[in-house]
């Protein structure tokens, strides 16, 4: 047997070891989910919300009808599905509906009117490593939507018309209701549970339930006005109460009623109006009557006599005469719901009569109004009576005429033009035409009669005419717009255009002369247009030919060649032109000829004409001379010369050899006085200058270099002509710099590095020497090159301790390898040349700077503000550094200090992000401010903040590692509850309580007599605590707040003998609206007191003869000595009043009474029961006030360990608290509850303003019980 069992035991041991190993890898949660609640309750779904426990994830198990009994097994994962019944069935009818890390879920697939039970289990891990918290879990239940219990009732109809009716009802107890309506028969379908319907009061437009049952209303109201009904028809209604929104549950059958609609309308249309009159139409409008529709009948010339017949429909047409002819000449133009309509097909200058009949129904069920109809008239427009007149002409040219006239009395006028030889064609009434001021482009009325104008004005200019041609003009006044009516005959007149021009162009001028172009301008002659003919070298001989158009081109040679070498370069109406494509050094002759007309009608003025000539830019003939050099420096010099006879000149330079690249005619170049920056011609030939001056200063030269120059004259500007090769000269630049470097500075200061900057001198290069602690005392030697290194001490050493840290052409250098908080001196030497020809400019430019020093003053005065559950701001008073690094941790000590010269990055959201870790803390801020935002925090957690001051650049700082430390707690419930609560009876009516604090800022203690504490404090609420049991705030029934503060012990008094008191300690954070309690797992304990006297009752009442009558009764007494009656006027300080002997030992009831005549307005009493052996206990405290006496203000509770307040104050008053030194420590108002837990224990005086200039002074003891 031993051999058989051994393998089994071994397997069991291995399995347990593996399970233990898994638990060590990831332990199970310890805090369950809590605060399960439900919302969005529907017939088939609901939303669950809870507070997470401390598991990574959680599963939710659901069951219909009874509590969940299943418990998930460690090492198992379960399939979840939000549709009830589709997830894993963990026990019979118990399904997993959720498995995730959130705090809410929507559950589907439920049945209406059913209670569902849920259980939430926290867990960590996955697969075989899954560990569930099953010892405690959140559970709850909720019913899906249930059908209402009371149906709507008292259905009433009002406003019954032929096409509408209003239905009202008394609501049942559903959240909302659905109204179905059916025509001609009772509603024969009920709404289906979980189905959402759309209601629409326009009958037939809402959801259809069954056949013909339309939803006319859905909502929480109690009436609906239903429209689109037929007259003289019975409609049946059913009203269904329901609960839910997207998946409602209905109460069926509905409340029903029916109503017969009316027949004929009873209110006629009113307020006839017409507008938009035209020659063939007008618009009418009116105010509707109470019919669902209306028919409009029209008649020309006399009133409508016809009446529509019930049960008959009529066809309508808005074009008069096309609708049904209901009587001779009486046509239906409208039959619909409209009250605004255009009427067409009318005759001008005619009056039409109309009648409007309201009606209900359609077809055989049509009922027309029985009251007189609305009648009205409308007239079309007539032609004007006064024609326009006085047609006059001006501005006559060969192609245009200006026309003016005097208007007649039409709203507008139409002007028609035709050329000589075409017959007149007048406009047609009701026709619209398109005008154009360009003859021939407007509407053609026939016979080439073109519309040239249509508007309200008195003049126009007509263009596109032919020269030497007579034109005839007709003016017609008209009224209307889309249907105009014209006044005929027209007002007419004629005018001829002129022939060929008579005045030639004049005043020819030239400008902008270039090598390949020129600009010419002139004064126009009196032709409508003109052409310009150009010829190179000799005068133009050709003349343009009448009746001929020519093609022009601004580029010489591309236009029509009107004779050998004579080209048309312009044809237009302007007075200037730029001619291109010319040759340099060439004279061009121009001939300008005016003309009128186009095509075969073109007439030229060939005599006289305007002519002239102009040469393009020519090559200069005199070169520059007398080139002189001055102000020769290492990188600059001035060159001067005597100008030649060009309009301008170009200077070209080349280093080391003669200029061998020259400008090309007609091409421009970009100059720059900085050698090497201007245009390059060929290789190395740089354009320095192009302009009219005779001297320039050239920059950007190299020391000791010889530069060759060429000065070249040119004419023109945008297309110049150059005289090459120009005049040459050469000059060597100085090899010794003349300007030393300057403005030495440091723009980056680090713990171990400095970044140097300077302004260059005029040397080709420069070296920088550095020395620690004292000025540079060495000078580089001419003819010597040095090896530099940016790391101090690694470059060449000149003299003692002077190290070369830079040699180059730049203006900055980073120097590293320095000592923290140390002064370094630097000297910069410009130089020119190379090798043995190096020349240094001395003395050098000297400056000094220290590396970053460690700040000597740390930050101070830490504060935290804007604290919420996930973020907070920290503030402080800066030390004497130029920046600070802020690190936060959830531990009270930081395991790593920042390191000098380290570039730490930081982010407000950096907490818990490894990128920003520093030891056990996280970097949340780096910069110069005195406050920082911290995000990504966890609610209800105390964070410790460390602020390090530093100097130097942010990337290379020097830290003061003596950090300012502070702490704050984020909003939210504490993470750890109080524990280890113990209570000991002191046998004198009091008990001593001790507990171990959790992670909250404070603790709240509840005490209840006789049974376990069954209530918890509510978030967002402060409570008044009083260690005198029964005097503090009561939560629920009998749960009294006996302590609220940061301590972990309490003496609880006013306990009745022989009773058991149950205690619970709740951790919480913050006060006021932000108070957040940890309601789960409070520390609990209980304490029982001895019972020397079993008190049955203790009362106080007003005695009829005066005074206060005290009565008490005992059920039994053991070793009882006597009762001492104690009295107080403030509930705090009690004084003995009388001793009353007791029964001693008795198991029978005994009654006692005492009459007291107090002088006070308010009275507190208690009994001190003293045993024979001297032990004592107190009864409960009772209170009674005398009539017609106002109670005085009193501080309560007094003494206090936490909050206190002032009672019996009518109006808020200013108050303050002073200590025994006379110092004012707190200011407040009498209607505020004040926290005193932070003050030192002792006697204080509360001073309150009475309002009449007097003050009331009351003692307050802080720190006692």
Give me the residue label for tokens 């005994």. 1150
For residues 602 and 643, state if they share a domain: no
* 1154 within domain boundaries: no
Give me the residue label for tokens 């940016």. 790
DSSP character at residue 81: -
Whole domain around residue 437: which residue ranges?
A: 389-496
Report d(CA 854, CA 820) in Å as an integer: 8
pLDDT at 732: 87
* 530 within domain boundaries: yes
For residues 249 and 321, state if they share a domain: no
Report d(CA 543, CA 1243) in Å as an integer: 126
| % pLDDT > 70, the chain | 96
Collapsed DSSP state (helix, strand, coil) of residue 3: helix
Q: What letters, b where the CB count within 10 A reaches 16 and e where it falls short, cover 711-744?
A: bbbbbbbebbbbbeebbebbbebbbbbbbbbeeb
pLDDT at 19: 39
Of the candidates 389, 381, 343, 407, the one whose C-alpha atom is nearest the C-alpha of residue 486 is 381
pLDDT at 10: 37
> What are φ and ψ of residue 754, in 5° steps?
-140, 140
Task: Look up residue 657 and give its two tokens.
Answer: 């050899």
Number of continuous H segments (helices) and E segments (strands) in the chain: 1, 93
Give the max Cα distance, the chain.
158
Residue 766 CA, distance from chain mean position? 55
List, in sequence order, every residue forming a beta bridge with 588; answer none if it has no partner. Answer: 536, 614
Give me the residue label for tokens 């403030």. 1130
- Tell me the pLDDT tens digit for each residue of 1221-1265: 778 888 888 888 888 888 888 888 888 887 666 778 888 888 754
- Tell me the pLDDT tens digit for each residue of 1105-1161: 678 888 988 877 777 888 899 888 877 788 888 888 888 787 788 888 888 887 677
For residues 317 and 355, state if they share a domain: yes
Of the candidates 495, 487, 494, the one whose C-alpha atom is nearest the C-alpha of residue 413 is 487
| Spans of the chain, pLDDT less than 50 | 1-25, 1189, 1265
pLDDT at 953: 86
451, 470, 496 - which closes a domain: 496
Total tally of structural domains belonging to the chain: 10
732, 754, 777 - which closes a domain: 732
* 1155 within domain boundaries: no
pLDDT at 1187: 56
pLDDT at 1251: 67
Distance set, CA 644 to CA 640, 641, 648 (Å)? 13, 9, 9
pLDDT at 1190: 53
For residues 492 and 530, state if they share a domain: no
Report d(CA 1087, CA 819) in Å as an integer: 69
* 1106 within domain boundaries: no
pLDDT at 16: 39
Of the candidates 419, 415, 396, the one whose C-alpha atom is nearest the C-alpha of residue 405 is 415
For residues 648 and 670, state if they share a domain: yes
Report d(CA 830, CA 845) in Å as an integer: 9
For residues 456 and 540, state if they share a domain: no
For residues 1263 and 1221, state if they share a domain: yes
DSSP character at residue 17: H
For residues 647 and 722, state if they share a domain: yes
For residues 964 and 986, state if they share a domain: no
Of the candidates 978, 1078, 975, 1062, the one whose C-alpha atom is nearest the C-alpha of residue 1018 is 1078
Residue 145 CA, distance from chain mean position? 39
* 1126 within domain boundaries: no
For residues 346 and 399, state if they share a domain: no
Q: Are 1127 and 1165 in contact (CB under 8 A)?
A: yes
Q: Are 853 and 958 in contact (CB under 8 A)?
A: yes
Distance set, CA 782 to CA 357, 722, 767, 779, 1136 (Å)? 119, 46, 12, 9, 110
Which CATH number covers residue 51?
Answer: 2.60.40.10
* 1104 within domain boundaries: no
Report d(CA 820, CA 929) in Å as an integer: 24
* 636 within domain boundaries: yes
Collapsed DSSP state (helix, strand, coil) of residue 671: coil
> What does the DSSP assignment read for 269-310?
-EEEEEE---SS-EEEEEE--SSSEEEEEEEESS-----PPT
For residues 24 and 113, state if they share a domain: yes
pLDDT at 5: 35
* 540 within domain boundaries: yes
DSSP character at residue 5: H
What pTM, to 2 d.p., does this model score? 0.43
* Cβ-proximal residues to 1043 (8 Å cutoff; 6+ apart), any chain: 993, 1003, 1004, 1005, 1025, 1027, 1050, 1052, 1201, 1202
Report d(CA 1148, CA 347) in Å as an integer: 121
For residues 984 and 1032, state if they share a domain: yes
Give me the residue label for tokens 């089994």. 8
Report d(CA 196, CA 576) in Å as an integer: 81
pLDDT at 2: 35
232, 260, 288 - which closes a domain: 260
Which CATH number covers residue 1262?
Answer: 2.60.40
């Amino acid at each position: 047997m031993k051999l058989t069992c051994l393998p089994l035991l071994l397997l069991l041991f291995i399995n347990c070891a593996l399970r233990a190993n898994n638990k060590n890898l990831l332990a199970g949660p310890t805090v369950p989910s809590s605060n399960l609640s439900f919302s969005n309750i529907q017939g088939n779904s609901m939303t669950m919300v809870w507070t997470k426990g401390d598991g990574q994830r959680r599963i939710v198990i659901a069951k219909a009808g009874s509590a969940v009994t299943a418990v998930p097994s460690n090492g198992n994962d379960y399939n979840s599905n939000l549709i009830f019944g589709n997830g894993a069935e963990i026990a019979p009818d118990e399904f997993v509906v959720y498995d995730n890390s959130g705090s809410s879920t929507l559950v589907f697939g439920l049945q209406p009117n059913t209670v569902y039970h849920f259980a939430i289990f926290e867990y960590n891990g996955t697969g075989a490593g899954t560990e569930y918290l099953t010892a405690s879990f959140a559970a709850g239940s909720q019913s899906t939507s249930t059908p209402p219990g009371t149906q709507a009732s008292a259905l009433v109809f009002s406003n019954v018309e032929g096409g509408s009716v209003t239905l009202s009802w008394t609501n049942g107890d559903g959240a909302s209701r659905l109204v179905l309506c059916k025509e001609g028969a009772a509603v024969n379908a009920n709404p289906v549970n979980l189905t959402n319907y759309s209601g629409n009061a326009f009958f037939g437009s809402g959801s259809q339930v069954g056949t013909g049952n339309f939803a006319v209303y859905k909502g929480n109201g109690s009436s609906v006005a239903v429209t689109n009904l037929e007259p003289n028809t019975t409609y049946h209604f059913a009203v269904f109460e329901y609960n839910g929104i997207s998946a409602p549950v209905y109460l069926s059958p509905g409340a029903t009623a029916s109503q017969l609609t009316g027949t004929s309308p009873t209110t006629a249309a009113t307020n006839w109006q017409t507008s938009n009159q035209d020659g063939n139409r007008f618009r009418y409008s009116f105010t509707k009557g109470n019919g669902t529709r209306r028919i409009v009948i029209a008649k020309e010339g006399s009133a409508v006599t016809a009446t529509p017949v019930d049960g008959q429909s009529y066809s309508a047409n808005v074009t008069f005469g096309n609708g049904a002819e209901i009587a001779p000449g009486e046509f239906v133009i409208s039959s619909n719901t409209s009250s605004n309509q255009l009427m067409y097909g009318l005759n001008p200058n005619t009056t039409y009569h109309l009648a409007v009949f309201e009606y209900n129904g359609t077809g055989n069920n049509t009922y027309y109004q029985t009251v007189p109809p609305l009648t009205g008239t409308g007239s079309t427009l007539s032609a004007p009576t006064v024609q326009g007149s006085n047609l006059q002409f001006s501005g006559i040219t060969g192609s245009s005429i200006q026309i003016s006239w005097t208007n007649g009395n039409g709203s507008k006028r139409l002007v028609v033009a035709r050329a000589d030889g075409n017959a007149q064609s007048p406009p047609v009434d009701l026709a619209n035409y398109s005008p154009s001021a360009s003859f021939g482009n407007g509407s053609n009325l026939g016979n080439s009669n073109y519309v040239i104008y249509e508007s309200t004005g008195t003049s126009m200019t007509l263009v596109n005419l032919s020269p030497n041609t007579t034109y005839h003009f007709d003016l017609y006044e008209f009224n209307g717009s889309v249907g105009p009516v014209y006044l005929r005959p027209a007002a007419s007149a004629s005018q001829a255009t002129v022939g060929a021009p008579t005045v030639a162009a004049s005043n020819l001028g030239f400008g902008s002369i270039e090598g390949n172009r020129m600009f010419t301008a002139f004064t126009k002659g009196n032709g409508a247009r003109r052409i310009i003919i150009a010829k190179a070298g000799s005068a133009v001989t050709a003349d343009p030919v009448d009746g001929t158009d020519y093609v022009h081109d601004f580029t010489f040679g591309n236009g029509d060649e009107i004779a050998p070498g004579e080209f048309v370069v312009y044809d237009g109406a302007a007075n200037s032109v730029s001619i291109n494509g010319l040759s340099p050094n060439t004279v061009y002759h121009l001939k300008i000829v005016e003309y009128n007309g186009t095509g075969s009608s073109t007439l030229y003025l060939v005599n006289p004409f305007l002519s002239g000539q102009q040469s393009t830019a020519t090559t200069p003939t005199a070169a520059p001379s007398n080139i002189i050099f001055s102000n020769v420096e290492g990188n600059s010099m001035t060159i001067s010369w005597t100008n030649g006879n060009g309009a301008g000149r170009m200077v070209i330079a080349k280093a080391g050899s003669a200029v061998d690249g020259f400008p090309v005619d007609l091409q421009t170049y970009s100059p720059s006085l900085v050698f090497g920056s201007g245009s390059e011609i060929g290789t190395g030939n740089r354009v320095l200058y192009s302009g009219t001056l005779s001297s320039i200063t050239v920059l950007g030269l190299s020391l000791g270099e010889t530069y060759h120059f060429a000065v070249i004259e040119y004419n023109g500007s945008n297309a110049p002509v150059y005289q090459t090769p120009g005049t040459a000269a050469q000059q060597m630049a100085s090899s010794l710099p003349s300007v030393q470097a300057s403005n030495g500075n440091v723009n980056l200061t680090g713990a171990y590095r400095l970044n140097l900057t300077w302004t260059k001198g005029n040397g080709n290069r420069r070296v920088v020497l550095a020395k620690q602690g004292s000025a540079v005392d060495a000078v580089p030697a001419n003819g010597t090159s040095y090896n530099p290194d940016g790391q101090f001490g690694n470059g060449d050493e000149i003299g003692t301790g002077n190290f070369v840290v830079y040699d180059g052409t730049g203006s900055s250098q980073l120097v590293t390898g320095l000592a923290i908080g140390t002064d370094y001196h630097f000297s910069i030497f410009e130089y020119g040349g190379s090798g043995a020809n190096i020349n240094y400019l001395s003395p050098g430019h000297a400056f000094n700077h220290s590396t970053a020093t460690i700040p000597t003053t740390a930050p101070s005065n830490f504060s935290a503000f804007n604290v919420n559950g996930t973020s907070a701001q920290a503030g402080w008073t800066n030390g004497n550094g130029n920046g600070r690094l802020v690190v936060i941790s959830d531990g009270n000590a930081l395991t790593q200090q920042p390191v000098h010269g380290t570039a730490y990055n930081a982010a407000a959201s950096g907490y818990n992000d490894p990128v920003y870790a520093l030891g056990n803390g996280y970097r949340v801020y780096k910069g110069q401010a005195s406050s920082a935002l911290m995000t990504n925090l966890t609610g209800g957690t105390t964070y410790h903040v460390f602020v390090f001051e530093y100097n130097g650049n942010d990337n290379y700082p020097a830290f003061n590692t003596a950090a300012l430390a502070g702490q704050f707690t984020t909003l939210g419930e504490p993470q750890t509850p109080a524990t280890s609560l113990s209570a000991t009876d002191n046998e004198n009516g009091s008990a001593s309580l001790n507990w171990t604090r959790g992670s909250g800022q404070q603790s709240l203690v509840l005490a209840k007599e006789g049974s376990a504490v069954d209530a918890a404090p509510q978030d967002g609420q402060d409570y008044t605590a009083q260690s005198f049991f029964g005097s503090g705030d009561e939560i629920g029934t009998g749960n009294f707040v006996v302590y609220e503060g940061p301590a972990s012990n309490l003496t609880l008094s006013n306990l009745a003998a022989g009773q058991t008191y149950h205690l619970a300690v709740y951790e919480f954070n913050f006060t006021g609206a932000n108070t957040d309690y940890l309601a789960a797992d409070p520390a609990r304990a209980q304490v029982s007191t001895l019972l020397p006297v079993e008190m049955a009752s203790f009362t106080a009442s007003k005695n009829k003869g005066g005074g206060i009558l005290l009565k008490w009764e005992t059920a039994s007494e053991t070793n009882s000595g006597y009762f001492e009656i104690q009295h107080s006027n403030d509930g705090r300080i009690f004084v003995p009043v009388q001793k009353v002997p007791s029964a001693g030992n008795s198991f029978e009831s005994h009654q006692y009474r005492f009459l007291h005549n107090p002088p006070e307005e308010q009275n507190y009493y208690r009994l001190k029961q003293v045993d024979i052996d001297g032990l004592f206990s107190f009864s409960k405290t009772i209170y009674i006030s005398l009539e017609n006496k106002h109670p005085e203000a009193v501080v309560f509770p007094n003494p206090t360990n936490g909050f206190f307040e002032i009672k019996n104050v009518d109006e808020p008053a200013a108050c303050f608290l002073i200590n025994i030194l006379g110092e004012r420590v707190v200011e407040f108002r009498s209607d505020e509850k004040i926290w005193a837990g932070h003050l030192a224990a002792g006697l204080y005086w509360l001073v309150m303003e009475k309002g009449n200039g007097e003050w009331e002074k009351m003692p307050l003891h802080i720190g006692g019980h």
